[in-house]
Structure 1
Amino acid sequence: MNVKLHIDRLVLEGIQLPGSQGAAVKAAVEAELGRLIKANGVSQEFRQGQVVQRVRAGAFQPARNSTPRMLGTQIAKSVYGGIGKSR
């Protein structure tokens, strides 16, 4: 299965990140979300190749000392909850 994933804009409300960590978080989100999609698939809406303007992810509480990779993984799992097969 080939997965083409493009995140145009990632808005994180209530999370302060130094500019240098933004790219690392984005890379972690893309990697984990790609892994989840490959492993578990997506809902029918996404299998049909529709362009989706916005995906609302569930809320989560990041740990105080989260690394960018840990934060990206949490974000990806939350986003996957909005696009995954179990939707």
Structure 2
Amino acid sequence: MRIEVHIERLVLDGLPVSTADGPRVRAEVESELARLLVAGGLNRDLGGARAVARMSAPQISVGPREQPDAIGRAVAASVHAGIGASE
């Protein structure tokens, strides 16, 4: 199975991410979310190739010195909780 994730705009209010770290966080979100979707699938209500304009996801907690890659993985896990297949 091949899944491509492209994030056009990612708004991270209140997270310790600099403008310079933004691309690194976005890349990590894309790759980790793709990995999670391959492993766990997509919610049936969202099936097919389509854009999702907005979604709700659980809040994440990160420390003030959290690395951009770790922040990206936490964001991806939260997004996956909102769009991933239900158990």
TM over 0.5: yes
Once the two structures are TM-superposed, the CA of residue 80 in structure 1 deviates from its matched residue by 0.4
Structure 2 residues not aligned, in runs of 5+: none
Residue 27 of structure 1 pairs with residue 27 of structure 2: yes
Moved more, 59-68 or 47-56: 47-56
Identity %: 36
Once the two structures are TM-superposed, the CA of residue 49 in structure 1 deviates from its matched residue by 3.0
| Number of matched pairs | 87
Q: How far apart in 2 are the matches of 1:32 and 1:51? A: 18
Q: Deviations over 1:17-59 (max 9, x none)?
A: 2221111111110111010011110101222334321122211
- Describe the SS at the equivalent of 2:55: coil
Q: What amino acid maps onto 1:9 in structure 2?
A: R
Superposition RMSD in Å: 1.5
> What is the aligned partner in structure 2 of residue 48 from structure 1?
48
Q: Give structure 1 regions of 4+ aligned residues with deviation exceeding 3 angstroms.
A: none
